[in-house]
Amino acid sequence: MEMFGAVESPQVWPSFLHQAGKIELGLSKIDGCQLLVVASEANKVATFIAKSVTKQGLVRSYV
């Protein structure tokens, strides 16, 4: 959630300024792209996949 806040209000999150700037630049190149916050319950499958690949050390897996 911190990274989302850093992109939306970078002045409030100076420690994430560099990362937020890179994300904002990347998003600006994708037509119609937007960030959405969803409840974790709505994203259980992606969370499960992310946790399992992290535990297994599969650093090149994508969700």
Q: Which two tokens stand for residue 30?
A: 């994708």
Phi-psi region of 57 (alpha: psi -120 to 50; beta: other; left: phi over 0): left
10 within domain boundaries = yes
39 within domain boundaries = yes
18 within domain boundaries = yes
Total-model pTM? 0.45
17 within domain boundaries = yes
61 within domain boundaries = no
Q: Are 47 and 40 in contact (CB under 8 A)?
A: yes
Asked whether residue 63 carries a pLDDT value surpassing 60, the answer given is no
Nearest to 4 by CA among 14, 16, 33, 15: 16
- Write the pLDDT tens digit of every residue in 3-60: 667 777 777 778 877 887 888 889 889 999 887 777 778 888 888 888 888 777 776 6
pLDDT score, position 31 = 92
Q: Which domain holds residue 39?
A: 2-56
**Number of domains the chain is built from:** 1
16 within domain boundaries = yes
Nearest to 7 by CA among 47, 38, 26: 26
pLDDT score, position 61 = 59
33 within domain boundaries = yes
Q: Which two tokens stand for residue 21?
A: 């700037």
